[in-house]
Amino acid sequence: MKRLKIIGIGVIILVLAFFYTPLVQLLGSPLIINDPLQKADAVVVLGGGWEARGRLGKSTLERYRYGIHLFQQGYGKYLIFSGGNLWGNPSEAEEMAEMAMSDGFSDKEIIIEDSSETTWENTLFVKRILLDKKLQSVVLVTSPYHSRRAGTMFADKGITVISAPVPDSEFYDASGTDQLRMARLVITEYVKLGLYRLNIIR
């Protein structure tokens, strides 16, 4: 009976630690690459998915806001939005570009990559844009837990990458049931990064 009580208390402590401490963030910290900021040819913002049909998700919106901020600070000559839409039109990139132009940015500064459906496709299609524009370096904006895999893929394609994950991301502020989603994202990233390094998936 005493042993069961101790086990029960232990389980409660673990559950509380999972939901209300930065345990998930600590476990996900090796996935984060945060380079010192420096100017590049372009600021690239990767789409982070939709919350619902026609409504960009929190990850995409926070990436958009940080990408815009960096572009305003002069960290790139172009602003490249990358991301398609499995549901059809509009794409994440098109939606972000529309928001940027509504915020007063010129369409001459904005480049849309709206065909990609995976991080690897983000890399391939952005690489084509860079080659076409004779650009070599990017400030890469994405979520913290996604920054190592995305940065690795871009670097593997010969792109000079300054990794700039969103500093005030929801990833850092999550608690309660939101931690379940963050834990799933972290686990998924570890799996995808491992499979990529083993050359099993792109």
For position 166, which CATH number holds?
Answer: 3.40.50.620
Tally of structural domains, the chain: 1
21 band by pLDDT with thresholds 50, 70 and 90: confident
Asked, for residue 156, whether it belongs to a domain, the answer is yes
The tokens for 132 are 């076409």
Global pTM reads: 0.91
Q: What's the CA gap between 164 and 170, in Å, rounded?
A: 15
Give the domain range for residue 64.
Answer: 2-197
Put residue 83 in one of left, alpha, beta given phi > 0 → left and psi -120 to 50 → alpha.
Answer: left
Q: Examine the pLDDT at 134 and tell me if it is beyond 60.
A: yes
Q: What is the pLDDT at residue 11?
A: 45
Is 69 among the domain residues?
Answer: yes
202 assigned to some structural domain: no
Burial string for 104-136 (b: 16+ CB within 10 Å, else e) reads ebeeebbbbbbbbeebbbbbbbbbebbeeeebe
Q: What percentage of the chain carries pLDDT values higher than 90?
A: 79
Inform me whether the pLDDT recorded for 191 exceeds 80.
yes
Q: Region 124-140: what's the mean pLDDT?
A: 98
Please check whether residue 18 lies inside any domain of the structure. yes
Does residue 146 lie within any of the structural domains?
A: yes
